[in-house]
Amino acid sequence: MPDLLLELFSEEIPARMQRKAAEDLKTLVTNALVDAGLPYEGAKAFATPRRLALHVAGVPAGSAATREERKGPRVGAPDKAVEGFLRGAGLASVEEASIQNDPKKGDFYVAVIEKPGRTAIDIIADFMPGILRGFPWPKSMRWGTTATRWVRPLHSIVATFGPETEEPEVIPFEFDGIKSGKSTRGHRFLADEAFDVRRFDDYATGLEKHKVVLDADRRKDMILNDAKDRALALGLELVEDPGLLEEVAGLVEWPVVLTGSFDKDFLEIPDECIQLTIRVNQKCFVLKDPKTGRLANKFVLVSNIVAGDGGKLIVAGNEKVIRARLADARFFWETDLKTRLSDNLPRLDEVKFHEKLGSVGSRIKRLIALSADLAVIIGADKAKAERAAELAKADLVSNMVFEFPELQGLMGRYYASAQGEDASVALAIEEHYKPQGPSDSVPSDPVAVSVALAEKLDLLAGFWAIDEKPTGSKDPYALRRAALGVIRIVLENELRIRLGDPIRAALGPIDVPVGDAGALVDSLLSFFGDRLKVHLKDEGARHDLIDAVFALEGQDDLLMVVKRVEALGNFVSSDDGANLLAGYKRAVNILKAEEKKDGVPVSGRPHADHLREQAEIDLAAAIDTARAEAASAVSEENFEGAMEALSKLRAPVDRFFEDILVNAEEPALRTNRLQLLAEIRDATHVVADFSKVAG
């Protein structure tokens, strides 16, 4: 079957846009093919700095003819109904429609719409200009005197179609003066001549001959492997940077890896500052010494040309820029060290955190108080937690963080350590932002844990208080991430914290109407419940079991919620648990039906003198024993023991439903037996709300 080849050749496309643009081109074209009745076998998109390309394999030579019978209104229907039918069917008059008879509905009009098949070339030529005009670039531009808009000036379009055994045809279309053809160009500097292409295989091969590697992933592999080899030759290791690798692969069509160096004196600067300086300013990779784990005074750069001097001038130019930028970084570092972090605090009163939540300085006061409260709960040193909270944001006004905001926290740790602060305080300054994502580590030092929890709970309480909660997919203040951070810190450190208390403490300094505080706490706890469901679901837990535990009152101890969920999951997956759950649901269904019939809920304890048959006598005794044992186990936080206690109800519950008629004719006996069913429900609710459990 024929293949389709498209190439859109332009000036340099920003690296950050290339991969998505290639996928957008693939999606738009393949969807249009399918909509036009041209299913395909496979498609792959490509991007280089100067081109988007698409290869679609196995496209039919044309679409099949179609015949459709479209039913219209009854004969004699109002004129407007008939006119609408004719317009929709593309008929000029009612005489062009046929009349069919329905024995039940009478005569009605029918239009037979026949569409002849079309060649794939004609179909593609029709839809391509519209795709290009509406292409979803994040930003686009106009150039010259035309109305053409593209990410950068567009120069040419390749569009060929045909089977392997024949010479492919050019798909004829025009995009604002640019006509499609079969000619493209190679590398801007190394082989900038035009050459013709026929289909994808010779297109990719031709580009390679003209110094263009079409596949971005292959360019990445070339860069990574060459960089590692260069590092190994120097006795060093490459500091891998996936984001930078993706960006650099989008800056070159023919990657050439080179190495350069900088003065060893610059190694006095923290490694992270050196790496960011070199990364941000020159898009270069850094190398480290495997013996020390510290950076070496070497870097790897990626050129887009093969230089006649082996790249000496290119390396020298990069070294010159990096030397200047590292000199700036050293100035920032040395200047910041001269100012104690505590001396930065007054400046934070001038930095606005949020219009409705005050300055960063006022937020620090809240963090100090909340960190102290949490330190007492966690068992951390209260004075150290307060000191860490006091200094946690002080690096925000430092020169280095102003230049590289992503270093906030880390630079605070460096400055605190250099200025003689306690090691736990310095670590907490860095780690109080953690975790910042699912792959980020969680603080474990008690002081760092206290401040990290305070940071996130203050953030959540503040934005809840001003009604800036996440909505749908919008979460501009990353509140979902903050809640998941709290959950991970609590669970991974196995902390016993009832979240309601610190949430109330966090809301205290914020201007919240007295009547709203309780509602805000409940709302936030519900939000934590939702986030915990997401977290546990990712861990493989069932969401219905989480609902069953959260349905109980006062479930704000996340660690205990998780332990209950684990125990409940093990219980309901056992034979005893599954059978007891079935008995529970049968009991609840009977209760619901009878309560609806009677119009009042079943209440009160069953009377012993109304227990006549052995099965109900045994069940009543088993319920009393199981409830007492389960409650005792729960009070000792032995949830497996609580489940084991409930499992003793299985046999008496089964026997009760086999031997006992609940809806006895005698009213007192019926009421007593319904009360016994209610006892089953209440006994299980000591552990979880079994009505929430599926199955």
Q: In this predicted model, what pLDDT tens digit does every residue of 496-521 receive, in sequence order?
A: 999 999 999 999 888 776 668 889 99
C-alpha 566/C-alpha 543 separation (Å) is 12
C-alpha 671/C-alpha 603 separation (Å) is 9
Give the mean pLDDT of the chain: 93
C-alpha 674/C-alpha 666 separation (Å) is 12
Integer-rounded Cα Rg, in Å, for the chain is 36
Structure-token match 């109080």, residue found:
432
C-alpha 632/C-alpha 626 separation (Å) is 10
User: For residue 515, what pLDDT is reported?
Assistant: 63
Report the pLDDT averaged over residues 206-219.
98
pLDDT band at 372 (very low <50, low <70, confident <90, very high): very high
User: CATH fold of 568-692, please?
Assistant: Isoleucyl-tRNA Synthetase; Domain 1 (1.10.730)
Write the single-letter amino acid at 175: F
Run of H or E residues at 33: helix 15-35
User: For residue 514, what pLDDT is reported?
Assistant: 60
Query: If DSSP codes are grouped into helix, strand and coil, which group holds residue 340?
Result: coil
> What is the DSSP code (8-state) at residue 330?
H
For 335, 389, 497, the CA distances from 422, given in Å and listed in that order, are 22, 13, 26
C-alpha 590/C-alpha 77 separation (Å) is 56
Query: If DSSP codes are grouped into helix, strand and coil, which group holds residue 205?
Result: helix
C-alpha 204/C-alpha 202 separation (Å) is 6
pLDDT band at 597 (very low <50, low <70, confident <90, very high): confident
What is the percent of the chain where pLDDT is above 90?
69
Structure tokens at 263: 């003065």
Can you count the helices (H) and strands (E) in the chain?
A: 25, 20
The answer to whether the peptide bond before residue 39 is cis (omega within 30 degrees of 0) is no
667 Cβ contact list (under 8 Å, min separation 6): none
209 Cβ contact list (under 8 Å, min separation 6): 186, 191
Helices within 234-351 (DSSP H only):
242-249, 271-282, 312-337, 345-348
Three-state secondary structure of 616-682 = HHHHHHHHHHHHHHHHHHHHCCCHHHHHHHHHCCHHHHHHHHHHCCCCCCCHHHHHHHHHHHHHHHH
Q: In this predicted model, what pLDDT tens digit does every residue of 315-341 receive, in sequence order?
A: 999 999 999 999 999 999 999 999 999
CB–CB of 39/189 below 8 Å?
no
Sheet of 98-102, strands arranged across: 66-74, 106-115, 98-102
Sheet of 285-288, strands arranged across: 237-238, 285-288, 295-303, 256-261
The answer to whether the peptide bond before residue 502 is cis (omega within 30 degrees of 0) is no
Report the pLDDT averaged over residues 478-491.
96
C-alpha 266/C-alpha 332 separation (Å) is 12
CB–CB of 50/11 below 8 Å?
yes
Name the nearest CA neighbour of 283 among 311, 304, 312, 305: 304
What is the percent of the chain where pLDDT is above 70?
99
Q: In this predicted model, what pLDDT tens digit does every residue of 398-449 receive, in sequence order?
A: 999 999 999 999 999 999 999 999 999 999 999 999 999 889 999 999 999 9
Can you give the residue ranges of every domain in the chain? 3-62+119-209, 66-115, 216-337, 380-540, 568-692
CB–CB of 467/477 below 8 Å?
no
Run of H or E residues at 358: strand 358-359
> What is the DSSP code (8-state) at residue 101?
E
243 exposure class (CB count in 10 Å sphere: 0-12, 13-18, 19+): exposed
pLDDT band at 99 (very low <50, low <70, confident <90, very high): confident
Run of H or E residues at 227: helix 216-233
CB–CB of 214/48 below 8 Å?
yes
User: For residue 665, what pLDDT is reported?
Assistant: 86
Q: Is the per-residue pLDDT at 364 higher than 80?
A: yes
Report the pLDDT averaged over residues 607-612.
87
Q: What are phi and psi of 6, to 5 degrees?
A: -125, 140
Q: In this predicted model, what pLDDT tens digit does every residue of 374-398 receive, in sequence order?
A: 999 999 999 999 999 999 999 999 9
User: For residue 106, what pLDDT is reported?
Assistant: 87
Run of H or E residues at 81: helix 79-89
Run of H or E residues at 55: strand 51-57
Partners of 289 in the β-ladder: none
pLDDT band at 688 (very low <50, low <70, confident <90, very high): confident
476 Cβ contact list (under 8 Å, min separation 6): none
Three-state secondary structure of 381-447 = CHHHHHHHHHHCCHHHHCHHHHHCHHHCCHHHHHHHHHCCCCHHHHHHHHHCCCCCCCCCCCCCCHH
Report the pLDDT averaged over residues 602-620.
89
C-alpha 263/C-alpha 267 separation (Å) is 8
Instruction: Compare 224 and 678 and report the one with higher pLDDT.
Output: 224
Q: In this predicted model, what pLDDT tens digit does every residue of 538-553 receive, in sequence order?
A: 888 888 888 888 887 6
Name the nearest CA neighbour of 451 among 391, 362, 532: 391
C-alpha 56/C-alpha 8 separation (Å) is 15
Q: Is the per-residue pLDDT at 185 higher than 70?
A: yes
C-alpha 135/C-alpha 29 separation (Å) is 11
Query: If DSSP codes are grouped into helix, strand and coil, which group holds residue 178?
Result: strand
C-alpha 544/C-alpha 262 separation (Å) is 59
Report the pLDDT averaged over residues 443-463.
97
C-alpha 92/C-alpha 376 separation (Å) is 85
Identify the weakest region by mean pLDDT among 15-29, 350-364, 565-579. Answer: 565-579
Q: In this predicted model, what pLDDT tens digit does every residue of 38-71 receive, in sequence order?
A: 999 999 999 999 999 999 999 999 988 877 788 8
Instruction: Compare 483 and 512 and report the one with higher pLDDT.
Output: 483
Three-state secondary structure of 453-484 = HHHHHHHHHHHHHCCCCCECCECCCCHHHHHH
Query: If DSSP codes are grouped into helix, strand and coil, which group holds residue 369?
Result: helix
Name the nearest CA neighbour of 284 among 235, 234, 231: 231
Write the single-letter amino acid at 313: L
Q: Is the per-residue pLDDT at 653 higher than 80?
A: yes
Report the pLDDT averaged over residues 592-611.
87
Rounded to the nearest 10 degrees, the angle between the axes of helix 120-133 and helix 15-35 is: 140
